[in-house]
């Protein structure tokens, strides 16, 4: 079962995370996790470019290393990059020193490839130990989300992915999609219609 929105109680329990932005303005924040990969990230960039929209890409360092030209394109087209660890580590399954080193390695790769230093971090699976959060929050904003598309679940029909993502989008929403291999078919069916919806509703898309 996919929970497409984050309940207020969860946000209150974890106040050091950024779950959403201001509800006062018609702005939303598109985010894409796990890339870049050639099979889908360029497609997403094309869709954003056609509509003059911006997004934040939380990149896996190993993919940045493999596909530097795509990471460079993200920056050149005015999008933002965030750190998503070097190889998609799940924080609660490794010790703190290993995790912090992995995050730092990802940051080094991003800077080497793009020339940019990112101050944004999103933990894979949204999971961190308290000790990891304590260290990382000194260097990064820890960005979560309040709208989860569920594009990674092949059991969810594309129409449901689209309708649920639309249903929970509101001012200040941070919306989570994925640019990875297993979301290719879903993204191509859902993203254009969702972006058109944002345009129709006069939402501005901004980087974090």
Where do the structural domains in the chain lie, given as residue ranges? 8-205
Segment (H or E) for 8 = helix 8-13
Over residues 51-68, the mean pLDDT reads 98
pLDDT at residue 81 greater than cutoff 80: yes
Mean pLDDT lowest among 1-10, 68-77, 107-116: 1-10
Q: With H, G, I as helix, E, B as strand and everything else as coil, classify residue 196.
A: helix
| Residue-level pLDDT at 186 | 97
The count of other CB atoms within 10 Å of the CB of residue 42 is 18
Q: How far apart are CA 108 and CA 31, in angstroms?
A: 21
> What would be the CATH architecture of the domain defined by 8-205?
Alpha-Beta Barrel (3.20)
pLDDT at residue 4 greater than cutoff 90: yes
Over residues 40-51, the mean pLDDT reads 98
| Residue-level pLDDT at 1 | 77
Over residues 126-138, the mean pLDDT reads 96
Beta partners for residue 80, in sequence order:
56
pLDDT digits (tens, 9 = 90+) for 5-36: 999 999 999 999 999 999 999 999 999 999 99
Among the listed residues 128, 38, 42, the one whose alpha carbon sits nearest the alpha carbon of residue 77: 42
E strand segments, the chain? 27-33, 55-59, 80-83, 120-121, 141-142, 147-148, 174-178, 204-205
| Residue-level pLDDT at 162 | 98
Structure tokens at 3: 């929970």
Q: How far apart are CA 70 and CA 116, in angstroms?
A: 14
């Amino acid at each position: 079962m996919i929970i497409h929105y984050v309940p207020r109680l969860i946000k209150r329990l974890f106040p050091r995370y950024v779950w959403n932005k201001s509800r006062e303005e018609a702005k939303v924040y598109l985010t894409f996790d796990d890339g870049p990969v050639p099979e889908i990230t360029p497609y997403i960039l094309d869709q954003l470019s056609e509509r003059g929209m911006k997004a934040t890409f939380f990149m896996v360092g190993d993919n940045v290393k493999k596909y530097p030209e795509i990471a460079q394109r993200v920056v050149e087209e005015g999008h933002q990059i965030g750190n998503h660890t070097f190889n998609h580590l799940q924080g609660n399954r490794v010790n703190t020193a290993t995790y912090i080193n992995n995050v730092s390695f990802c940051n080094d790769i991003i800077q080497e490839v793009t020339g940019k230093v990112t101050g944004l971090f999103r933990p894979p699976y949204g999971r961190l130990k308290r000790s990891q959060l304590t260290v990382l929050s000194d260097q990064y904003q820890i960005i979560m989300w309040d709208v989860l598309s569920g594009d990674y679940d092949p059991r969810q029909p594309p129409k449901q992915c689209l309708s649920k993502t639309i249903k929970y989008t509101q001012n200040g929403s941070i919306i989570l999609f994925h640019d990875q291999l297993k979301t290719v078919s879903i993204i191509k069916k859902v993203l254009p219609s969702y972006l058109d919806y944002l345009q129709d509703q006069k939402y501005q898309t901004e980087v974090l």
